[in-house]
Amino acid sequence: MNNQPFQPPSRLWLFFIIPLAVAAIVWTAYSASELLSMEQPTIVAKYKVILGIIAMFTSFSFSVGYLYMKWAVPRKNLLFQLLKQNKNVVTFKFGRYFVNEQAIHDIYNKPLSIRWLQQRDLREVYEILESGGTK
């Protein structure tokens, strides 16, 4: 059984996210300057700016997702190890998973940020533990 069932995202994602962000910023800046310099803006120029803004939002969303996954993986692995020791660390009530901080402090006395994991992460850790520790 693997001690670390969760792996961080590959750094190769940065070779996709960073060029996308740079291209989106350059495209939006160019399109916006083109739009502002027109006396009578055309619909095509407006659509170029809108597409640039959408591309910037998309690259921002990818960046936030990448950073969250990088942040969450060590905490999910730690939670997995804590759950193997004591199943009361995470409880399921009312259709949600709750982190029992007192049970965590009984096992692991360092300050933790496990409670900030999203519900889908808590569910994933719990389901992997129930399935025998494999993804």
Per-residue pLDDT, 73: 95
Low-confidence spans in the chain with pLDDT less than 70: 1-2, 111, 133-135
Per-residue pLDDT, 105: 84
Q: Is 99 helix (H, G, I), strand (E, B) or coil?
A: strand
Per-residue pLDDT, 108: 79
Determine what percent of the chain falls in helix, strand and coil, rounding each to the nearest 5: 70, 5, 25
Per-residue pLDDT, 1: 47
| In the chain, where the domains are located | 11-130
Per-residue pLDDT, 115: 83
* Cα–Cα distance, 120 to 131 (Å, whole number): 16
Per-residue pLDDT, 133: 66
Per-residue pLDDT, 8: 93
CA–chain centroid gap for 38, Å, is 40
